[in-house]
């Protein structure tokens, strides 16, 4: 029987604690492990996060080969390919947990804030197009901080709102993920990675994870 979402999350948090304390165990990374899993993968968790090179999914959770199914792109922006990858993880690989990982000092959020000024000059067109998904989070953050100008915001101020939007879009985009959560087979953790401390800080828990923040708001229009 698969472990519960709560047990999987506890193990990942244990690994992150080893990483932040500077005493990682580096488990399951040797030739033996490689041979053991060559025939099939059975990861317990999936991770969807930003591509930022200062973050490595397996290192920050101190896990090894075959333990995490990882999907990443700049700014953790939801697309059909992301939804398909996570549905594959949930349905075919039967993972019990998906971690959605935001982080400090995100370049995609910097870009979105900058592009808000109308100066798309030094970003490639595709980047400008993609980060438009971040505008609702920027707008809500500005209103909550009573700022008059989006340009006055920092990426770190917007990160939590963008994390919530990412989770809402995943749930709105995939009936399968929603059903698995309703059945108690899948949990979602929205977390923020702290670059300096190495800490993975949970911000939103959905599903059977000991507490439930309730339904997320519907996804904002891009």
- Please report, as ranges, the residues that interact with Zn ion according to CB under 5 A: 50, 52, 106
**How many other C-beta atoms lie within 10 A of the C-beta of residue 32?**
9
Q: How far is the CB of 106 from Zn ion (least distance, A)?
A: 3
Token output for 95: 């993972």
Q: How far is the CB of 192 from Zn ion (least distance, A)?
A: 11
Token output for 3: 């472990």
Question: Would you say 13 or 73 has its CB closer to Zn ion?
Answer: 73
**Measured CA angle at 50 (ends 108, 143), to 5 deg:** 50
Helix axes 175-182, 155-173, angle to 10 degrees: 90
Question: Would you say 106 or 188 has its CB closer to Zn ion?
Answer: 106
CA atoms within 13 A on the CB side of 28: 15
Question: Would you say 95 or 106 has its CB closer to Zn ion?
Answer: 106
Q: How far is the CB of 201 from Zn ion (least distance, A)?
A: 15
Question: Would you say 52 or 64 has its CB closer to Zn ion?
Answer: 52
Question: Would you say 5 or 190 has its CB closer to Zn ion?
Answer: 190
Q: How far is the CB of 19 from Zn ion (least distance, A)?
A: 19
Q: How far is the CB of 47 from Zn ion (least distance, A)?
A: 14
Question: Would you say 82 or 181 has its CB closer to Zn ion?
Answer: 82
Q: How far is the CB of 217 from Zn ion (least distance, A)?
A: 22
């Amino acid at each position: 029987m698969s472990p519960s979402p709560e047990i999987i999350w506890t193990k990942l948090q244990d690994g992150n604690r080893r990483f932040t304390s500077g005493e990682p165990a580096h488990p399951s990374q040797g030739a033996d492990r490689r041979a053991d899993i060559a025939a099939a993968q059975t990861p317990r968790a999936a991770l969807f996060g930003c591509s930022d090179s200062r973050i490595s999914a397996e290192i920050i959770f101190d896990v090894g080969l075959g333990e995490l199914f990882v999907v990443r792109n700049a700014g953790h922006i939801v697309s059909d390919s992301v939804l398909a990858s996570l549905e594959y993880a949930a349905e075919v690989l039967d993972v019990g947990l998906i971690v959605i990982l935001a982080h400090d000092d995100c370049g995609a959020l910097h870009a979105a804030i900058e592009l808000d000024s109308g100066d798309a000059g030094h970003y490639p067109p595709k980047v400008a197009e993609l980060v438009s998904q971040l505008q609702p989070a920027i707008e809500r953050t500005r209103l909550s901080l009573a700022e008059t100008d989006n340009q006055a915001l920092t990426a770190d101020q917007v990160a939590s709102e963008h994390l919530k939007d990412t989770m809402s879009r995943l749930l709105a985009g995939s009936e399968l993920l929603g059903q698995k959560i309703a059945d108690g087979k899948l949990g979602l953790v929205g977390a923020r990675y702290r670059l300096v401390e190495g800490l993975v800080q949970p911000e939103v828990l959905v599903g059977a994870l000991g507490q439930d923040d309730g339904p997320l708001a519907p996804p904002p229009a891009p």
